Amino acid sequence: MSVEELLRRYQAKQPVDPTELEEVDDRGAFGLLRGARDRAIMIEMRKKDGSVLAIPYALIEQIRYSPTDGIYLLACGREVAITGRHLNSGPLPQNSLLNGLCRNRITWIQERSRTTADPATPSAAIESISW
């Protein structure tokens, strides 16, 4: 293949696949970036009452996890507590909320007023977020 043919091939407009436009996988309780190398700049905490807190990942100093208490983020001298169930488990361990936070892949977390998921399945459910 000649250089001109290669240039034409790579410069031609490629059709856009709609599935590629959606970069965030909605897990119900949180949004997870699909690409293994993708990194979020900020994490958005959404409460049931509509209030939102966005924290830059660069300012998160510490992430603590306790199976009984939940996840605690320390950022800018402020502690954010995330309580719920299955925060460190899921169908694939690398797609859990805790793992995603540690790897800067979570774009948002939201409280749920009512869970529609089956309690027997290990999907994360956020009961409360406090800051």
Q: What is the pLDDT of residues 31-54, one digit of tens each?
A: 999 887 889 999 999 999 999 999
Helix (H, G, I), strand (E, B) or coil at 10: helix
More confident call, 15 vs 110: 110
pLDDT beyond 60 at 120: no
Q: Where are the domains of the chain?
A: 23-130
Opening angle at CA 79, ends 74 and 85, nearest 5:
95
